[in-house]
Amino acid sequence: MKEKSVSVKALLPVLFGFFIMGFCDVVGISVGFVKKDFQLSETVANFLPSMVFLWFLLLAVPAAILMNRIGRKRTVLVSMFITIVGMLIPFVDYNMITCFVAFALLGIGNTILQVSLNPLLTNVVKGNVLASSLTAGQVLKAVSSFCGPFIAAFAASVLGNWQYLFPIFAGLTLLSTFWLMAVHIREEAPEQASSWGATFGLLKDRTIFLLFLGIVFVVGVDVGTNMVAPKLLIERCGFTEIESAVGPSTYFAFRTIGAFIGTFLLARVAGNKYFRVNILVAIAGLLVLFFVSGQYAILALIALIGFTCSSIFSLVFSMAIQARPEKANEISGLMVTGIFGGAVVPPLMGYLTDLLGSQAGSLFVILGCLCYLLYCSFGIKTK
């Protein structure tokens, strides 16, 4: 009974770490505020998400190596310390440079957190409880992503400045840090970490390479839709930056609903069929989005894209594992590295938007990502 009590006490702060993990998605609504504050072009402003997601390419494997050296809990605490520092910098001195530095540190902290938090959870719970706990963690991350735009809107409208978002996030991360430090978690002896060469050498396998690109593009769709949702409401409906927060929140709400429903449907429907149907519907919804201008139509289509794309990341991930099950650990590290797609797609969206003079440019980039995923759903066969 005592052991069970200790496990529950350890589980709660670890799960709260997933809420902190969702902070990186606030970059979608932040782009609009930063662009307005510093009078930036779309191309320059859209480099802000790159500051967050670039680090998945550079640091995912080194973070795993660090975790094997200092332990999982300490690695999580390092990630939270970096996040706290990043969130305090622009509040102390707000300018374009400190803003970009802040989101870079948020990205570094988030990369380390995503690499280390799931393994830490396995030290707290086992068996069937682990599966449900992982699901609960992803739900908390989705709730955090959903709340982020509302926190930014609250800071701007009630507190008087959207920049109060930063100390709010820093305070929540500090709470998470102290909570996790207060519990004892027993960890197994670390295994030998995978090297850069062993992980990236898998890209020589054509199937793994194509699925790796699938991860890059599905994250691109996720970040891109999160970013373009408020901008479409501003451009086509005359919304303010504060009012436009409803766009990304709608997206994350329906992405969460879609993930829940997908969990049950994928137990009954073949993964490749579910993949194909959802991507086809998402492409159809995006094509309609080029032509609508009413706020409810835009929100409905953003919701549709969020719903249909909610399970694609996990489907592509599982296809890669099925292709080379004997390399599951290396593939997991490689797929997490693919999250850097969130750093590549937004600048392309910004460039094409400046070129065309409207958010249609961003939609073209997202459409290209979806078309590649459609190819993955039909053109890649796994075991």
Q: Are 299 and 256 part of one and the same domain?
A: yes
Q: What is the pLDDT of residue 6?
A: 40
Q: Are 249 and 339 part of one and the same domain?
A: yes
| CA 145 vs CA 169, 254, 265: distances in Å | 12, 11, 24
Q: Are 272 and 174 part of one and the same domain?
A: no
pLDDT of residue 194 exceeding 70? no
- SS3 of 221, please? helix
Give the count of domains, the chain. Answer: 2
Spatial CA neighbour of 57 closest among 212, 202, 224, 190: 212
Mean pLDDT computed over 216-232: 92
Q: Are 132 and 234 part of one and the same domain?
A: no
Range of the domain at 48: 1-193
Which of 37-46, 114-123, 128-137 shows the lowest mean pLDDT across its residues? Answer: 128-137
Q: Are 102 and 143 part of one and the same domain?
A: yes
Q: Are 181 and 275 part of one and the same domain?
A: no
- Per-residue model confidence as pLDDT tens digits over 61-106: 888 778 878 888 999 999 999 999 999 998 888 898 999 999 999 9
- Per-residue model confidence as pLDDT tens digits over 134-145: 667 777 888 888
Q: Are 181 and 207 part of one and the same domain?
A: no
Q: Are 266 and 369 part of one and the same domain?
A: yes
Determine how many CB atoms are found less than 10 A away from the CB of residue 207.
Answer: 16
Tell me the residue type at 304.
L
When pLDDT is cut at 50, 70 and 90, the band that residue 316 belongs to is: confident
Spatial CA neighbour of 55 closest among 20, 18, 82, 84: 82
Q: Are 227 and 137 part of one and the same domain?
A: no
Q: Are 163 and 217 part of one and the same domain?
A: no
When pLDDT is cut at 50, 70 and 90, the band that residue 274 belongs to is: confident
- Tell me the CATH number at 31: 1.20.1250.20
**Angle formed by the axes of helices 341-356 and 48-70, to 10°?**
180
* Domain end call among 145, 163, 193: 193
Mean pLDDT computed over 281-295: 95
Measured distance CA(166)–CA(163) in Å, rounded = 6
Q: What is the pLDDT of residue 132?
A: 57
Q: What is the pLDDT of residue 291?
A: 94
229 and 25 Cβ atoms separated by less than 8 Å: no
The beta-carbon contacts of 294-302 under 8 Å, at least 24 apart in sequence, are: 294/237, 295/233, 295/237, 295/239, 298/229, 298/232, 298/233, 298/236, 298/237, 298/247, 299/233, 299/246, 299/247, 299/250, 302/225, 302/229, 302/232, 302/247, 302/250, 302/251, 302/254
* Domain end call among 193, 215, 233: 193
Q: Are 371 and 232 part of one and the same domain?
A: yes
Given the structure tokens 């973070």, which residue do they identify?
Answer: 63
Q: What is the pLDDT of residue 356?
A: 92
* Domain end call among 193, 211, 244: 193
Mean pLDDT computed over 180-185: 90
Contacts of residue 41, Cβ cutoff 8 Å, sequence gap at least 6: 350, 354
When pLDDT is cut at 50, 70 and 90, the band that residue 131 belongs to is: low
Mean pLDDT computed over 359-366: 94
Spatial CA neighbour of 100 closest among 21, 30, 150, 162: 30
Q: Are 310 and 352 part of one and the same domain?
A: yes
Mean pLDDT computed over 136-165: 85
